[in-house]
Amino acid sequence: MSDEEPRYVSLAEVKKLLNEESEERELRYEQSLALGHAETFVKLSLESTEDLIEELIDGSDFIDEESAYKLADLLPQDEEGVRAVFQQDRHTPSDDESEKIINTIKKYL
């Protein structure tokens, strides 16, 4: 078992890691499915995804790391999409907060 601490991983990083792994060996069935999913749905480079996550966390008092990763993976384009990310959280973004999140995401698209 690994000594590494658990951490959040963006879909863009999953894509990078699985592509690197596929160069070393044949991926298992589940890994191949995960790579296909990542290749289909990743819209930003790993670097842009990391920058977006950082900007989302730094630009708001209520966006935690988990929510920032969800936002960076889903890239919601409207208030309904933003609210869906925060559905399980105690804080529901206001219209202004949602608009700020959407504008931040649009800078990276």
Percentage of the chain lying above the pLDDT 90 cut: 91
Where, residue-wise, is CATH 1.10.150 in the chain?
Answer: 46-108
Residue 87: is it exposed, middle or buried by C-beta count within 10 angstroms (0-12/13-18/19+)?
exposed
**pLDDT band at 64, cuts 50/70/90?**
very high
Angle at alpha carbon of residue 18, lines to 66 and 2, rounded to 5° = 65
Residue with tokens 């060996």: 25
pLDDT of residue 108: 97
Q: 2: pLDDT confidence band, cut at 50, 70 and 90?
A: low
- Mean of the per-residue pLDDT values for the chain? 95
Calculate Rg over the CA atoms of the chain.
15
CATH topology for 46-108 is DNA polymerase; domain 1 (1.10.150)
Percent of the chain with pLDDT over 70: 98
pLDDT at 52 over 60: yes
Q: Residue 90 has what pLDDT?
A: 87
The pLDDT value recorded for residue 4 is 81
- Alpha carbons 79 and 101: distance in angstroms, whole number: 9
Whether pLDDT at 43 is above 90: yes
Q: How confident is the model at residue 109 (pLDDT cuts 50, 70, 90)?
A: very high
Rounded distance between C-alpha atoms, residue 97 and residue 57, angstroms: 13
Res 5 pLDDT > 70: yes
